[in-house]
Amino acid sequence: MAGGWTRDGAIQDQIDDTVSDALEHARSRMPSGESAEFCVECGEAIPEPRRLAVPGVRTCIACQTQRDGQRAATSFNRRGSKDSQLK
């Protein structure tokens, strides 16, 4: 059921498009190419299984974990109202 001037299913279409855009953005930021042998952050050797599992990896597990922790602190506010997220 759509509200106002929207057709039925328009809200779900908008949600689907938002998810698709987020996936495309995340995939575009993933590393690619040949992996580095040594971490660009600390200089430690990157284990071969990690280099094979993540093509184009540039950081060791410890440095990547630290980076991910910093990003989590600046993530989206998911507590906003539904209407504010649909705009």
Which residue in this structure is represented by tokens 């284990």?
47
pTM of the shown model: 0.50
| Tokens representing residue 47 in the block | 């284990």
Shortest CA distance to 67 belongs to which of 36, 29, 32?
A: 29
Q: Which amino acid does the sequence have at 24?
A: E
Q: In the block, which residue shows the tokens 């328009």? A: 10
pLDDT at residue 29, as a whole number = 84
Over residues 68-81, the pLDDT tens digits come to 887 665 555 555 55
Find tokens 């599992």 and name the residue: 53
